[in-house]
Structure 1
């Protein structure tokens, strides 16, 4: 593409290689640059709309594509003790302003005979966050998704995030928002263990 006009393709192989429509993303980015008063053809911006932004959005929207979801292979559990993984970094896009929100996820689940590798929890959170959403929905999606993928008795998820739509515009406040979601029931001891693990992570 040289003039910013979107082109269509019926090439199935090309579509499989680039699951998003890079031509449309390129054209849309060019329109935004022009709309804010920039010259899309000036040095430094041509690669922005032609290549860089489409490639970035292809990566940042992996959560829409099942093929990108990590394989959650499970193993036989030796018990039903709570599994806790804290300090999982995540980056997502606010569906209201298309600006990032990012932070830390903490996950706990009670196995129902099977467990999954801890690195898979990290990869699942990363995959689930790569879409346009809001924090509350993402928290719920991770909890329900892990419940289904791992087959756990119960799942508890907490997300703490900073939102660029709040920090960069409007009130321009750099605050942290915390959201929680759970599937299944936890007893008081399990909830306390989770809170203690999250608190310990915060002291690191």
Structure 2
């Protein structure tokens, strides 16, 4: 029986959703068919007990979560408050989990964010939610760092934003050189003062020291 016949046979299974989810934009049937094809390509039996839920439910649901950054509806509401100062706001140690667009393997690490408020500030938890939302898509670390910085500048109407991400890439650790290293990227919007740059760097160093 050919691969196409196998997939076509299962595409009519009443247990499978057959439409794109309007809330997420994920076509569950295509996701299920694709995962079945990959499993078959590596010599696995998609219908064995340990894999049926994998292609029928788990992978499509995982894709919904890990691509939330592509959907504006999933973006956190950046509720702001009147700023009472113009000092740099720094938030360090934000967990980052994303997917490399080259290999679809995860990279994970820590983001550090700072901005100089103009008229408004945002709750610190929103910075964490915003980083998480931006990271949930297929991207590369350099692009993610840039998008977080520029996105926050737009969301908060902030003239100065600094973002640094340090991450380990599974496409290096699990394949290729098979070595776990750390990649660090930084993006700056605006013109922070020397004192602001130093404060940001010192805050990162303190966080790194506490986590070791």
Bin of the TM-score, shorter chain as denominator length? over 0.9
TM (norm. structure 2) is 0.91
- The structure 1 residue matched to 2:204, chosen from 192, 198, 202, is 198
Instruction: Confirm or deny: 8 A CA contact 1:63 1:69 kept in the other structure.
Output: yes
Structure 1: gaps spanning 5 or more residues? none
Matches within 5 A, 1:121-140: 121-140=127-146
Partner of 2:122 in structure 1? 116
Instruction: Confirm or deny: 8 A CA contact 2:24 2:71 kept in the other structure.
Output: no
- Whether 2:53 is the aligned partner of 1:44: answer no
- 1:15 aligns to what SS in structure 2? coil
Q: Cα distance, 1:40 vs. partner?
A: 0.4
Partner of 2:96 in structure 1? 90
Partner of 2:154 in structure 1? 148
- Whether 2:22 is the aligned partner of 1:19: answer no
Instruction: Confirm or deny: 8 A CA contact 2:46 2:52 kept in the other structure.
Output: yes
**TM-aligned CA distance change 1:150 to 1:202, over 3 Å:** same
Q: Cα distance, 1:79 vs. partner?
A: 1.1
Partner of 1:164 in structure 2? 170
Instruction: Confirm or deny: 8 A CA contact 1:72 1:120 kept in the other structure.
Output: yes
Count of residues paired in the alignment? 200
RMSD across aligned positions (CA): 1.6
Partner of 1:103 in structure 2? 109
2:187 and 2:39 mapped to 1: Cα distance? Answer: 39
Instruction: Confirm or deny: 8 A CA contact 2:91 2:112 kept in the other structure.
Output: yes
